[in-house]
Amino acid sequence: MKALTVETRKGARCRVLEAGSGMPVVFLHGAGGLLAENPFLDRLAARYHVFAPELPGYGESTGEELLEDMLDFTLHGWDVVAALGLTRPHLVGHSMGGMIAAEMAAVAPNDLDRLVLVDAAGLWIEEHPIPDIFALLPGQLVELLFQDPDRGQTLLTGGVDFSDMEAFKTFYLGQQRRLAMAGKILFPIPNRRVSKRLYRVTAKTLVLWGQADRLIVPAYAERWARLIPGATVQTIPDAGHMLPYEQPQAFVDALVRFLG
């Protein structure tokens, strides 16, 4: 994929991975950001025109001071779509990106084609409290994110050798910066009341979930489907919270079936 930089009208500068041609699909990443390798994006690009913007505070994207609350994040999402010159794209949001995509679809229901929420954050069910991702030891995070934590560790760090102090420092600073940004809409409870606004969503919606998601358990998929008019749920086996990374082919197949 190639990387381009767009500047929003508000002044944020965002790096966007782009590839393929056809119907535009905007993929919004989760709290950890895009990883070093994102094979599911490459596979999607075989069929669609794929755009994966990085939020300010992630990678080379800057302007994090411009975004403070949920409305800022939501409008930023549309600002990026506008800066890319896209009309009625499909929105696919993973985890925190799902939270943003759902808000985008609620505030501007006519501006997107279809909506896919993948292991999305944004709701809170008292019987299923989501673990506090801001209070975890490094090893604990991987356990929550992946069905297979050993493989997950490699995926997450891009194979960085943490015994190399400089490499560790760089990774750590990046992680602090990313999660500082994510905390603005996820801390202390990842619920900014999108549930009140979901009745506005008119886009056809697929709720896609990793069957073994230990961070946001599949009960949340049912809750999303109940709140969004006409939404359908599909769960994918052998996948945890990081479904697009753990089962890229099954993930892409599900998207293709739904998006056409």
Partner 1 sequence: MRFTWFNLMPWPYLPDDFREKNRSVWVDIPNTLYDPKKGHFVYHQYMDQLEYAETLGFDGIGCNEHHQNGYGLMPSPNLIAAGLARRTSRAAICVIGNSIAGYNPPIRVAEEFAMLDVISGGRLVAGFPVGTPMDTNFCYGQIPALTRDKYGEAHDLIMKAWAEDEPFAFDGKYNQLRWVNCWPKPIQKPHPPIYIPGGGSIETWDFCLDHDYNYSYLSFYGYLRGKSLLEGYWERVAKRGKDDSPYRAAFAQIICVADTDAQAEELYAEHCLYFFNRCLHVFPPFADPPGYRTVNTIKYGALSQLRMEAQRIMQGLTWKQLVEERFIIAGSPETVRQKLEECITGLRIGHLFCLLHTGNMPDWKTRHSTKLFAEKVMPHLRHLWPEWKHDDRWWIHPMEERLRPEETRPGAEKPGQEWR
Q: Strand 90-94 to strand 114-118: parallel, antiparallel, or no bridges (unpaired)? A: parallel
* Single residue of 21, 87, 170, 176 touching partner 1 by CB under 8 A: 176
Give yes or no for residue 219 binding partner 1 (CB under 8 A). Answer: no
Spatial separation of the C-alpha atoms in residues 78 and 82, rounded to whole Å? 6
Which of residues 121 and 225 has its CB atom nearest to partner 1 in the complex?
121
Judged by CB, which is closer to partner 1: 174, or 229? 174
For residues 118 and 94, the answer to whether their CB atoms sit within 8 Å is yes
Q: Whole-angstrom Cα distance, residue 125 to residue 99?
A: 15
Q: Which of 229, 227, 230, 221 is nearest to 195 (CA)?
A: 227
For residue 153, the tally of other CB atoms under 10 A from its CB is 18
How far apart are the C-alpha atoms of 222 and 39, rounded to whole Å?
A: 28
- The yes or no reply on residue 193 touching partner 1 (CB under 8 A) is no
| Beta strands, E only, 60-203 | 90-94, 114-118
- According to the binding rule CB under 8 A, does residue 10 interact with partner 1? no
Tokens matching residue 101: 């995509």
Q: Which residue in the set 10, 13, 151, 184 belongs to the binding site for partner 1 (CB under 8 A)?
A: 184
CB of 228 to partner 1, least distance (A): 27
3-state secondary structure of 252: helix
199 touches partner 1 by CB under 8 A? no
Residue 69 or 222 having the CB closest to partner 1: 69
- Cα-trace Rg, the chain: 17
In the complex, least distance from residue 246 CB atom to partner 1, rounded to whole angstroms: 24
CB-wise, 78 or 171, nearer to partner 1?
Answer: 171
For partner 1, the closer CB: 65 or 222: 65
Stretch of 87-95, 171-179, 219-227, 228-236 contacting partner 1, by CB under 8 A: 171-179
- Residue 172 vs 199, nearer CB to partner 1: 172
Q: Which residue has the tokens 């960085």?
A: 160
Can you tell me the distance from the alpha carbon of 53 to that of 61, in angstroms, rounded to the nearest whole number? Answer: 9
Residues 169, 193, 200, 257: which binds partner 1 (CB under 8 A)? 169
Cβ-contact 182, 96 below 8 angstroms: yes
Q: Are 117 and 98 in contact (CB under 8 A)?
A: yes
Pick one of 22, 187, 200, 237: the residue that binds partner 1 (CB under 8 A): 187
Task: Pick the stretch among 75-83, 130-138, 152-160, 206-214 that binds partner 1 (CB under 8 A).
Answer: 130-138
Give the one residue of 135, 139, 161, 166 binding partner 1; rule: CB under 8 A. Answer: 135
Q: List the one residue from 11, 21, 68, 159 that touches partner 1 (CB under 8 A).
A: 68
DSSP class of 62 = B
| CB-nearer residue toward partner 1: 114 or 178 | 178
Chain residues in the site for partner 1 (CB under 8 A): 68, 134-137, 168-169, 172-173, 175-184, 187-189
